[in-house]
Amino acid sequence: MMAQTNLSKTNLSKTKLSNIYLDNNATTKPTAEVIAAVVDAMERVWPNPSSIHRAGQEAKHAVEIARGQVAQLLGVKSREVTFTGSGTEAIGIAIRGTLGVCAKGKPKKNVIITSAIEHSAIGSLCQQLEAGGLARVVRLPVGLSGRVDVTGLESMIKEHACEGGHEVAMVSMQWVNNETGVIQPVHRVGEVCDRHNVVFHCDATQWVGKMPTDLSADDSPKIDLLNASPHKFHGPKGVGILWARRGVRLVSVTPGSQELGRRGGTEPVPAALGAGVACEQAKAWVEDAKLIERARVLRDALEAGILAACPGSVVNTAVDHDSRIWSTTNIGFPRLQAEALLLGLSERGVCVSAGSACASGSLDPSPVLLAMGVEESVAHGSVRLSVSRETTMGEVEEAIEVIRGVVAQLSRAMPG
């Protein structure tokens, strides 16, 4: 390990530093228009939207305009959209709120069906609920493809319905995996849940704002609850989105009169207005198929270039390019350490990550990759690279050369 992280300061001093950001699944740079909207809100519409005076109502009106912009991106009605403090909070409201409703019924519904490759916002919450005796958690299997196997979902729902007293309350699953970019079978999950009257919560953090989304369309997945994060598509941090289909009930996790009683607390006006602008810009972008294809070409060039430049490197999924979102690739460098790779690249001005940014402080291999069955020697040396709609081909080509150099240097330092 020490040999891998001992990157020569002499070599660094002779190396031209890049400035390339390839960690866009973690967060994206806000656009100039988003920043302007946030600043304007802080300077002009800073009063409390719940106040009945004119200044407060002007702030409330601004928030409602932003809510409408979010609704248009999702293809839903404004009244169905709730602003939260983050995507993680939106997930908490969806899961805890659904359990709160189900706990009042008889028989008690407290089973959550999910998978082992969910973001920690779902995975850790499910563990916490299970440890506290508030829920029973069942996890669907996943293979090297990186796609959750839902063939047994229907029988799983039926099985728990026959146990007496412990029925399925909800299914909670990602639309796109945040580490591999694999698109999950949300259409199939929605069909099964709809047939059995089970709530389907979809974590759409890596989908919304990157791909066309129209939740009211006939060919849309049958989703009941959905969360998104504007900072994943060039919006501000400090605000999340929760959509609840009309008729879906939630027990308030943070009681209050705001957000139709779904989420108490003063609305984050500057962040909400920035989110509205980000949604408007994202809608225009995702509706242009040529722009999406251009981004996919960039990801494919990055991936192919790294594989060619670094013999032995592998892509950590068995699915084809069309089964992954355009933004993401996850590449393993056997026998190397992700920590050393990240440090070496960072020192040369290239930003990537080792799996979820929320777990980047851990030196352990990604639980997602291990759950998929990726060999531990590969998982230990795996990094996630993610482009944005602002990434350029020049940045991709430069990043490949930097990665080639860092991998070669670390490989030479390996014993034997």
Same domain, 159 and 220: yes
> Which residue, 286, 302, 323, sits at the end of a domain?
286
Which amino acid is it at 400? I
Residue 28 lies in a domain: no
- Assess whether 135 and 254 both reside in one domain: yes
What 3-state DSSP class applies to 400? helix
- pLDDT tens digit at each of 416 positions of the chain: 444 444 444 444 455 677 999 999 999 999 999 999 999 999 999 999 999 999 999 999 999 999 999 999 999 999 999 999 999 999 999 999 999 887 666 557 899 999 999 999 999 999 999 999 999 999 999 999 999 999 999 999 988 875 555 589 999 999 999 999 999 999 999 999 999 999 999 999 999 999 999 999 999 999 999 999 999 999 999 999 999 999 999 988 888 888 888 888 999 999 999 999 999 999 999 999 999 999 999 999 999 999 999 999 999 998 887 899 999 999 999 999 999 999 999 999 999 999 655 544 556 889 999 999 999 999 999 999 999 999 999 999 999 999 999 999 999 987 65
Are 232 and 241 in contact by the 8 Å Cβ rule? The answer is no
Full residue range of the structural domain in which residue 322 is found: 2-22+288-413
C-alpha dist (Å) from residue 228 to 209, 211, 222: 9, 12, 17
> What confidence score (pLDDT) does residue 416 get?
58
Q: Are residues 261 and 303 in the same domain?
A: no
- Whether residue 250 is contained in a domain is answered as yes
- Residues assigned a catalytic role: 358
Q: CATH code at 76?
A: 3.40.640.10
Q: How far apart are CA 339 and CA 352, in angstroms?
A: 11
Considering the domain architecture, whether residues 402 and 358 belong to the same structural domain is answered as yes
Q: Give me the amino acid identity at 411.
A: S
Q: Do residues 60 and 49 make contact, with C-beta atoms less than 8 angstroms apart? A: yes
pLDDT at 5: 45
Say yes or no: 276 and 142 in one domain.
yes
Q: Is residue 66 part of a domain?
A: yes
CB-based burial, 160-186: b 16+ in 10 Å, e otherwise: bbeeeebbbbbbbbbbbbbbbbbbbbb
In a domain, 397, yes or no: yes
Both 368 and 380 in a single domain?
Answer: yes
Residue 47 lies in a domain: yes
Buried b (16+ CB within 10 A) or exposed e, 194-228: eeeebbbbbbbbbbbbbbbbebeeeebbbbbbbbb
Q: Are residues 258 and 353 in the same domain?
A: no
Give a yes or no: residue 245 inside a domain: yes
Residues 326 and 360 in one domain: yes
- The predicted pLDDT at position 260 comes to 82
| Residue 342 tokens, joined | 């990240």
Which token pair is 42?
Answer: 């802080």
- Enter the tokens of residue 159: 């099985």
Same domain for 49 and 63: yes
What are the tens digits of pLDDT across the range 4-30?
A: 444 444 444 455 677 999 999 999 999
Same domain? For 293 and 405 the reply is: yes
Residue 61 shares a structural domain with residue 174: yes
Task: Kindly state whether residue 27 falls inside one of the protein's structural domains.
Answer: no
- Report helix, strand or coil for 137: strand
Both tokens of 407, joined, read: 């991998």
Quote the pLDDT of residue 256: 83
Q: Rounded to 5 degrees, what angle do the CA atoms 296, 298, 301 make?
A: 110
3-class secondary-structure state, position 110:
strand
The pLDDT of residue 362 is: 53
Q: How far apart are CA 143 and CA 376, in angstroms?
A: 15
CA distance 125 to 197: 23
Type of residue numbered 140: L
Domain limit, last residue, from 248, 270, 286: 286
Pairwise CA distance, residues 275 & 281, whole Å: 10
Rounded-to-integer distance, Cα 296 and Cα 299, Å: 5
Question: What's the distance, CA 67 to chain centroid?
Answer: 21
Does residue 16 share a domain with residue 6?
yes
pLDDT in the model for residue 358 = 52
The single residue listed with the structure tokens 């690279």 is 385
- The CATH number of the domain holding residue 340 is 3.90.1150.10
Rounded Cα distance between 137 and 153, Å, is 13
Parallel/antiparallel/unpaired status of strands 350-351 and 20-21: parallel
Domain ends where: 226, 253, 286? Answer: 286
Residue with tokens 């995975």: 123
Q: How many domains does the chain have?
A: 2
Q: Is residue 233 part of a domain?
A: yes
